[in-house]
């Protein structure tokens, strides 16, 4: 695996604290070079100036570049487009874990991408799989 992208969407900022232990492990193992995390805040859009260090103070001394806070809902198509542009010619996989509407949107977007981008590599969709990745 060359790169891992995690897009997490939540209405409440406190839910991002679930990732704190994982982020510490990513930094400790040096895997932050291949992992990018996008935290989408769908609640109070007035927090658009919120910085990663406000949620994860441990990252200020490490490398906060691999975590970005985006004050808006995630857009699966835009995410796929950005990943393919950043890593052309690779094999891609997407797994959506969450509500039925989220997983349906991810599956439909993946199908749409594969039908309308015949010259790009296909995107493989994995239905609600939980991955146990060893960093």
**Total domain count for the chain?**
2
Residues 16 and 50 in one domain: yes
Residue 135 pLDDT more than 50? no
Q: Helices 76-86 and 100-116 meet at what angle, rounded to 10? A: 50
Residues 12 and 68 in one domain: yes
Residue 115 pLDDT more than 80? yes
Residue 112 pLDDT more than 60? yes
Residue 27 pLDDT more than 60? yes
* 81 domain residue, yes or no: no
Residues 47 and 95 in one domain: no
Question: Which residues form the domain of 108?
Answer: 90-128
Report percent pLDDT > 90 for the chain.
3
Q: Which two tokens stand for residue 56?
A: 């994860």
* 85 domain residue, yes or no: no
Global pTM? 0.73
* 83 domain residue, yes or no: no
Residues 99 and 62 in one domain: no
């Amino acid at each position: 695996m060359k790169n891992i992208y995690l897009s997490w969407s939540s209405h409440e900022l406190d839910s991002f604290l679930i990732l704190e232990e994982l982020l510490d492990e990513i930094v400790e193992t040096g895997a932050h070079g291949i992992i990018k995390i996008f935290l989408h805040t769908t609640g109070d859009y007035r927090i658009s100036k919120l910085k990663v260090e406000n949620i994860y103070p441990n990252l200020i001394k490490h490398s906060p570049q691999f975590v970005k806070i985006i004050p808006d809902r995630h857009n699966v198509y835009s995410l796929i487009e950005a990943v393919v542009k950043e890593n052309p010619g690779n094999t891609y996989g997407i797994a959506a874990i969450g509500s039925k509407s989220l997983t349906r949107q991810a599956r439909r977007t993946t199908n749409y991408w594969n039908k309308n981008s015949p010259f790009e590599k296909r995107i493989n969709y994995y239905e609600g799989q939980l991955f146990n990745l060893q960093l």
